[in-house]
Amino acid sequence: MALLGFGSENKTTAKKSSDGAYIAPDRTERAQCWEARDSYYSCLDRHDILDSLKEGEKAKNCCPEESKQFERNCASSWVKYFKQRRVADWKKEQTRLKLEKENAVNIADVKDGSVRIVNS
Amino acid sequence: MARAQKVAYQCPSQPIQTRAFSRLSASSRRTALQPATPIRHCQNASSSFASHSQLRPFSETSRNAYKTVQEARSRQRSGPFSWKAAVLFVVTGAAMIVYFQEEKARLERKRIADETKGVGKPKVGGPFNLIDQDGKPFSSEDMKGKYALVYFGFTHCPDICPEELDKMAGMIDIVKKNTGNTLLPVFVTADPARDTPAVVKEYLKEFHPDFIGLTGSYDDIKRMCKVYRVYFSTPPEVKSGQDYLVDHSIYFYLMDPDGDFVEVYGRTHTAEEAAKIMTDHIKDWEKPINQGLLSEARTKAVIPEGDPHDPIVS
């Protein structure tokens, strides 16, 4: 058994498999990580922070406990990934809203016939 | 009269029976060992025969086949378009619509399945030589005989792979319920540096016991990703315990029993939708499908369930 190789801080320990390679987080550990991520996200929402990578200092000061838990329960590559994904998901949602305003229709709805394109 | 002829026509073989019947008393008629239906069908015919037998020995029907005037009027009004005819018409029409729609869907599936066969077509998939989660060799030949659902991922994947693998487990169960043991679920790692057979085995047992988990050398996996047109981004040199993510395509590839590519399912498909399409493809397959338990050997050799947090060290 060895300390989790990824990340520098004192994280939970990663298990080694029978051939010596590190086992990936299992279902329970994933769930713990996602839970920590979600409470971190909701804290960011409360403080109106979108990009916690850009506003790292502010995020750390506003959500010290959530930030600690997040980093403790998830591998650092996951932490970075989730922080980036939050921004990407927000941008995606904005694009969707913008398109919706422009009366764009979902291509899937057109394909299954629930929406019809009418040429004006 | 058209109606009278019709009634007579309904019971062509009846006259002899009914004639004998009409001579019997009502009670003995009931006890007679004759099928009940002809009597009911030809009530009009037999009763009319009783009254007109002297005058019209060859006719079994009277002109007054209706019990009431209203009935006669309504028959007269509706002409040959009875409710029976209407029902028959609607049922036949509906059946034909269903048949043609099904046939259309089947031909569409056949078109998709055949699209990638033959010369000059885009080729997805091909020969490979990898190792499974027990460290045994597993090649593209071992995948033939059943349909195969191939998914590329890596065990240290933060969120998408586990979600998709749970979905895939759902598909496996539905397809299995619908068609039996016809589908081989295959997980191929896109991160050979960290995903050794033992790591893959530990990972997959949380999703579905039928999974075949494939890994191999860096070059073998790179080649595998290439033939399946999967984006491959594992860095060639990684230190033990290094933490990184891998970008990879997140599609389920359906391969037929000949090893030919059929189509892909992605994030937009629910487990039910993808399973439905796969079930239809499998039912379309005309050649025999191997129904054997390919994963039997492995499910027997599964590591005994102990404390999941207990590290397994050799």
| Cα B280 from chain centroid (whole Å) | 5
- Tell whether B72 and B49 lie within a shared domain: no
- Tell whether B256 and B152 lie within a shared domain: yes
* pLDDT, tens digit (0-9, with 9 covering 90-100), for A16-52: 777 777 888 889 999 999 999 999 999 999 988 888 8
| B79 Cα to chain A: minimum distance (Å) | 41
- Find out whether B248 is annotated in a ligand binding site: yes
- Find out whether B225 is annotated in a ligand binding site: no
Query: Would the pLDDT of A67 be above 50?
Result: yes
User: Residue B225 corresponds to which amino acid?
Assistant: C
What is the pLDDT at residue A102? 82
**Containing structural domain, residue A79:** 27-111
What is the pLDDT at residue B73? 73
Comparing CB atoms, the residue among A5, A18, A27 nearest residue B243 is A5
Residues 6+ apart with CB under 8 A from B66: B72, B75
| Nearest Cα residue to B131 out of B42, B255, B220 | B220
The answer to whether residue B308 sits within a structural domain is no
The answer to whether residue B133 sits within a structural domain is yes
**A-B contacts (CB, under 8 Å):** 87
| B159 Cα to chain A: minimum distance (Å) | 8
DSSP label at A14?
A: B
Q: How much of chain B is helix, strand and coil, in % rounded to 5?
A: 45, 10, 45
Residues 6+ apart with CB under 8 A from B166: B207
The answer to whether residue A120 sits within a structural domain is no
The answer to whether residue A33 sits within a structural domain is yes
The answer to whether residue A43 sits within a structural domain is yes
Cβ atoms of residues B255 and B147 within 8 Å: yes
Interface contact A75-B159, CB threshold 8 A: no
Residue of B nearest to A5 (CA): B241
The answer to whether residue B200 sits within a structural domain is yes
Whether residue B286 lies within 8 A of chain A, CB to CB, comes out as no
Task: State the sign of the Cα–Cα–Cα–Cα dihedral B98, B104, B107, B111.
Answer: negative
Cβ atoms of residues B272 and B291 within 8 Å: no
Instruction: Give contacts of A76 with chain B, Cβ < 8 Å.
Output: 243
The answer to whether residue A16 sits within a structural domain is no
Comparing CB atoms, the residue among A4, A17, A33 nearest residue B202 is A17
Give the largest CA-CA distance in chain A: 67
| A87 Cα to chain B: minimum distance (Å) | 16
pLDDT bucket at A119, cuts 50 / 70 / 90: low
Cβ atoms of residues A39 and A71 within 8 Å: no
For the segment A50-67, the average pLDDT, to the nearest whole number, is 87
- Find out whether B161 is annotated in a ligand binding site: yes
Cβ atoms of residues B235 and B156 within 8 Å: no
Q: What is the CATH number of the domain that holds B258?
A: 3.40.30.10
What total number of domains does chain B contain?
Answer: 3
Report residue B274 as tokens. 């993808």
Cβ atoms of residues B194 and A5 within 8 Å: no
What is the pLDDT at residue B294? 58
Give the largest CA-CA distance in chain B: 112
Interface probe with B: pick from A6, A12, A13, A19, most Cβ of B within 10 Å: A19
Here the ipTM equals 0.74
Interface contact B243-A82, CB threshold 8 A: no
The answer to whether residue B120 sits within a structural domain is no
Instruction: Give contacts of B245 with chain A, Cβ < 8 Å.
Output: 77-78, 81
What is the pLDDT at residue B244? 84
What is the pLDDT at residue A56? 81
For B236-259, b where at least 16 C-beta lie within 10 A, e where not — what string? eeeeebebbbbebbbbbbbbbbee
- Tell whether B187 and B278 lie within a shared domain: yes
**Containing structural domain, residue B24:** 3-54
The answer to whether residue A15 sits within a structural domain is no
What is the pLDDT at residue B298? 44
What is the pLDDT at residue A57? 84
E strands in chain B = 129-131, 137-139, 147-153, 183-189, 212-214, 252-255, 261-265
Q: Give B254's strand partners.
A: B149, B263
Residues 6+ apart with CB under 8 A from B135: B197
What is the phi/psi pair of residue B135, to 5°? 85, 5
Cβ atoms of residues B181 and B292 within 8 Å: yes
Interface probe with B: pick from A9, A17, A37, A83, most Cβ of B within 10 Å: A17
- Tell whether B278 and B137 lie within a shared domain: yes
Task: State the sign of the Cα–Cα–Cα–Cα dihedral B22, B24, B28, B34.
Answer: negative
Q: What is the pLDDT along chain B (314 residues), one digit of tens a residue?
A: 444 444 444 444 444 444 444 444 444 444 444 444 444 444 444 444 444 445 555 655 556 667 777 777 776 666 667 888 889 999 999 999 999 999 998 888 888 877 766 665 567 888 999 999 999 999 999 988 899 999 999 999 998 889 999 999 999 999 999 998 899 999 999 988 889 999 999 999 999 999 999 999 999 999 999 888 888 887 777 777 778 888 777 889 999 998 889 888 988 899 999 999 999 999 988 888 888 775 543 444 433 444 444 443 33
Measured CA to CA, the distance from residue B157 to residue B225 in angstroms comes to 17
What total number of domains does chain A contain?
Answer: 1
- Tell whether B105 and B223 lie within a shared domain: no
Measured CA to CA, the distance from residue B176 to residue B297 in angstroms comes to 18
Comparing CB atoms, the residue among B162, B202, B245 nearest residue A81 is B245
- Tell whether B106 and B253 lie within a shared domain: no
* pLDDT, tens digit (0-9, with 9 covering 90-100), for A101-116: 887 777 767 666 666 6
